[in-house]
Amino acid sequence: MSEDAHLIEMRDLARTFGGGRTVFGARKPQLTAVRGVSLDLAKGETLGIVGESGCGKSTLARMLVGLDRPTAGGIRLDGEDLSSSGTKALARRVQYVFQDPVSSLNPRQTIREILEAPMRHLLGLGRAEREARLAKLIEDVNLRPEFLERYPHEFSGGQAQRIGIARALAAEPDVVVLDEPVSALDVSVQAQVLNLLDRLKRERGLTYVFISHDLAVVESIATRVAVMYFGEIVETAPARAMFKAPLHPYTKLLIDSAPVPNRKRGTLGGDSGELPDPYDPPPGCPFAARCPRVEADCRETMPPLETKNRGENHRAACFHPLTWP
Amino acid sequence: MALANDPELIIADEPTTALDVTVQAEVLRLLDELRRERNTAVLFITHDFGVVSEIADRVAVMYAGRIVETGRTEEILTEPAHPYTRMLIDCVPVMGEPERRLDAVPGRPPAVNRLPPGCAFADRCPRVEADCRSGEIPLEEKRGSLQARCLHPLQPGEALFGEVITDRPKGRRHELPEANASGPDAHGPLP
């Protein structure tokens, strides 16, 4: 994979909230949601981002689509720095699908108005062109044309999520960032939406960033996975390699915690550990307190995200990675 | 809070659905311990088959207001008799099986105030025959611990569409005919 094949490059991306001082000069608490994430996105891949709640997945996604600005670091799209080009150019290329399908649609607009907005504002299409695209779009997401005149509350969760996907596709983006797109859906509907995403990706040559806490879903859809913990990426690898033999103990904990049909765990796993206090981050590896393989050096410095003995694409931020036969 | 009165039955309605996997595993372990220590019965409502196999001894599958199949967990999960159970299991991605095809259940549940005569699942069932659409179909013993409300139940190892499967097909998943294009109530809002 050559360097210029990267669609999006994130370099040392960080986002802090709070901070500063009150009018009386007392320090306000500061929280770092994302701390120095560097990640590349290749064209045509589906990058799964997994991690527990509060690990910074959504903040990272929001920065990717320009809903939030990084405190430090930069995002480059096709080599062009996004912080200078403005949100409109970004929105044209990168679109977002929200977690809650119904509440992310404007209840006072018909589906037609919702889907036409990006075509009008981002692509500047005329009425006839919009009409033609709408018909194609609504068919692509398996909805019927008469749905265009309805309002969001008339739809089920699965239908509303397909409208959310159609809205993201209306601007003809290259990258779609999906933030837990199926978490709020019923299992039978979840499969429909996953299959739809799979087909749209093939038909339109899309690149996905797929955020989820459901590892089984990520494994089935992602080509590459990045595991986040406490605002940092602790492991990234091709999906198959990661699920077969993770390097980072945290990844293993996540995989072992996911319930699998017909697998009864002898001892039900699950540790009582929690994330470190984000207002007072530890100096070393943030997972050290929960890690079964922790040693003294883990508590002193944060291990860098680097390749281990598993090839160029499998990286982990761990001093004592797991070994597999 | 549910334990304050030292109850004999705990009803847990999707208690872990919104949780992270690590926390979910912890809650399940806790619930399982309490059940053993206090001899409490647990009625656990969930849509996650992984959680089911972890916590349940016995499973009842509901569809359109009725129990359509019940039996011991391992039997239900490996060789269900009711086609709905089979399809429900098949539409969920499973860890460790990324190549698994996700077959969405086509169609939608019937409106509960307009249930069809016979089997409520008939319109979505690949094994439907004429006799499914009339009369009352009882919940009967099929094999092993399984009881199912079905006139044409699946035999062990039998696939939904009649042929006997040796190995589940692998490769690209495909899309089944779309849900909302069928059914008389497909236009209206969902309940």
Look at residues A138, A141, A122, A119 and name the one whose alpha carbon lies nearest to residue A130.
A119
What is this model's ipTM?
Answer: 0.74
**Would you say A270 and A257 are in contact if contact means Cβ atoms under 8 Å apart?**
yes
Look at residues A81, A78, A150, A141 and name the one whose alpha carbon lies nearest to residue A109.
A150
How far is the alpha carbon of A186 from chain B, nearest alpha carbon, in Å?
A: 8
Is there a contact between A260 and B47 if contact means CB atoms under 8 Å apart?
Answer: no
**Residue A225 maps to a domain:** yes
**Would you say A287 and A234 are in contact if contact means Cβ atoms under 8 Å apart?**
yes
**Residue A35 maps to a domain:** yes
Of A154, A213, A255, the CB nearest to B95: A255
Amino acid A190: pLDDT: 86
**Residue A303 maps to a domain:** yes
Q: What are phi and psi of A161, to 5 degrees?
A: -70, -35
- Span B148-190, pLDDT tens digits: 999 999 988 777 765 444 444 444 344 444 444 333 333 344 3
Find the CATH number of the domain harbouring A180.
3.40.50.300
In chain B, where the domains are located: 1-56, 73-180
For chain A, the first-to-last Cα distance in angstroms comes to: 28
Is there a contact between B91 and A190 if contact means CB atoms under 8 Å apart?
Answer: yes
Give the pair of three-digit tokens for residue A84.
């200078």
Distance CA A142, CA A153 (A): 18
CB of B34 within 8 Å of any CB in chain A? no
Neighbours of A135 (CB within 10 A): 12
**Residue A76 maps to a domain:** yes
**Which of B45, B63, B91, B187 to mutate to test binding with chain A, by most A CBs within 10 Å of its CB?**
B91
**Would you say A322 and A293 are in contact if contact means Cβ atoms under 8 Å apart?**
yes
Amino acid A264: pLDDT: 61
CB of B26 within 8 Å of any CB in chain A? yes
Of A191, A213, A269, the CB nearest to B104: A191
Give the pair of three-digit tokens for residue B28.
């399940």
**Would you say B9 and B41 are in contact if contact means Cβ atoms under 8 Å apart?**
yes
**Would you say A211 and A58 are in contact if contact means Cβ atoms under 8 Å apart?**
yes
Is there a contact between A52 and B20 if contact means CB atoms under 8 Å apart?
Answer: yes
Answer whether residue A243 shows pLDDT above 70: yes
Query: What value does the mean pLDDT take over residues B66-73?
Result: 94
Is there a contact between B22 and A52 if contact means CB atoms under 8 Å apart?
Answer: yes
All residues at 6 or more sequence positions from A101 whose CB lies less than 8 Å from its CB, including other chains: A157, A158, A160, A161, A163, A164, A184, A185
Which residue do the tokens 């001082």 mark? A21
Domain range holding A46? 3-103+173-316
Residue of A nearest to B28 (CA): A268
Above pLDDT 70, what percent of chain A?
93
How far is the alpha carbon of B137 from chain A, nearest alpha carbon, in Å?
A: 24
Amino acid B4: pLDDT: 67
Reduced to 3 states (helix: H, G, I; strand: E, B; else coil), residue A1 is coil
Distance CA B81, CA A164 (A): 37
**Would you say A82 and A74 are in contact if contact means Cβ atoms under 8 Å apart?**
yes
Chain B 84-123, residues with CB within 8 Å of chain A CB atoms: 87-89, 91-96, 98, 100, 102-105, 108
- Which pLDDT band holds residue A168 (cuts at 50, 70, 90)? very high
Which is higher by pLDDT, B104 or B165? B104
Answer whether residue A216 shows pLDDT above 50: yes
Amino acid A85: pLDDT: 62
How far is the alpha carbon of A112 from chain B, nearest alpha carbon, in Å?
A: 17
Of A186, A194, A216, the CB nearest to B47: A186
Is there a contact between A191 and B29 if contact means CB atoms under 8 Å apart?
Answer: no
The length of chain A, given as a count of residues: 325
Chain A 120-159, residues with CB within 8 Å of chain B CB atoms: 142-144, 146, 153-159
CB of A176 within 8 Å of any CB in chain B? no
Answer whether residue A149 shows pLDDT above 90: yes
Amino acid B47: pLDDT: 84
Answer whether residue A83 shows pLDDT above 70: no
Amino acid A110: pLDDT: 94
Number of domains in chain A: 1
- Span A30-71, pLDDT tens digits: 888 888 889 899 999 999 999 888 888 889 988 888 888 888
Ranked by mean pLDDT, which of A261-275, B80-94, B154-168 comes out on top?
B80-94
